[in-house]
Amino acid sequence: MSNKNSIWVCLEQTNGKIASVSYEMLSQAKKLSSALSGEVCAVLLGSQLDELKQEPFLYGADKGYVCDDERLKDYRTDSYCQVLDALVKENAPEVLLMAATTNGRDLAARLASRLETGLAADCVDLKLEDGEFVATRPMYGGNIMADIAFSEKRPIMCTVRPNAFSKDEADTGRSGEMVAVPFGGGEDPIRTQVREILSKAGGEISLTDAQIIVSGGRGLGGPQGFDLIREFAGALNAAVGASRAAVDAGWISYEHQVGQTGKTVGPKLYIACGMSGALQHLAGMKTSDVIVAINKDEEAPIFEIANYGIVGDLYQVIPVMIEEFKTVLASR
């Protein structure tokens, strides 16, 4: 029997820092649990975690479990899955949320198989309808948004895209106790070893972490247009984004794609350059605090959601903006 109305959030941490998506999931879980009169439980795995144990409570956790073990220092599917498998089977939560990141997707799939339960992947919304849990995710290449209902099998498992939800402000008045759980290990061997972790060269700012994003679309006219976008982004210390059309055309790599079939982002400032405003793209950036659109077509749908719009040739507008930004920033 499941622990009715208990929503668990598996936190993702790397090098002693909890990922922002974990706080976003906790914030949404708190809202859902309030409607269910339930509780939010945070699960933290890793090594040397003492400084992180109180952080989940600041963002909505009511209780927590922590497995602090040297064997969990680096993410490995076998070791993380063994701990979570035993913990979930012992406590039977109603819902288990995990991040739709490289590690989260890998772990969620393995764990769902072990628990013999379903998994809704890459969710962009979690809600209650008539008291039942419903997850929303893009399907068919982002052409539709599907609401996923769940059978009686528990736990309900979902992976959640970064920036799908806003992160609540930390409540410094909250605290709690993280219950220590043993590594256990079970009978299954850990079949991999992490010898070395290499950082990607290039130093570009990650889309999911960026406070400012400058994105280019089909209106750039070709791959050379992204040279201007990168220059613009560099002047603002921003990340470079792109529409699906630009990526499909081979003008820039997929890792820059924003939208239902790319990354969901929520920066403080999003500058859309030469983008029409296709629905699948808007779904990935509409939660941005401020949206600036630059497009020579005054009828472009992007202007309907933009806070500020500039109608003009981006190859004339952007160089002027770059120089203005450089002047302003240099004077600070």
The string of DSSP codes covering 96-150 is EEEE-SHHHHHHHHHHHHHHT--EEEEESEEEEETTEEEEEEEETTTTEEEEE--
pLDDT at 200: 63
Residues of the chain with pLDDT under 70: 1-4, 141-142, 185-189, 198-203
pLDDT at 112: 95
Same fold across 3-180 and 207-330: yes
pLDDT at 1: 45
Q: Which residues, in sequence order, are CB contacts of 236 under 8 Å at separation 6+? A: 212, 214, 269, 325
- Which tokens belong to 90? 């012992």
With 0.85 as the threshold, say if the pTM is over it.
Answer: no
Contact 30, 36 (CB under 8 A): no
- Look at domain 3-180 and name its CATH class: alpha beta
All structural domains of the chain with their residue ranges? 3-180, 207-330
CATH code for residues 207-330: 3.40.50.1220
- Which tokens belong to 239? 């990340």
DSSP 35-66: HHT-EEEEEEEESS-GGGTTHHHHTT-SEEEE
pLDDT at 15: 83
User: pLDDT digit string (tens) for 143-172?
Assistant: 778 999 998 889 999 999 988 888 889 998
Q: Put residue 201 in one of left, alpha, beta given phi > 0 → left and psi -120 to 50 → alpha.
A: beta
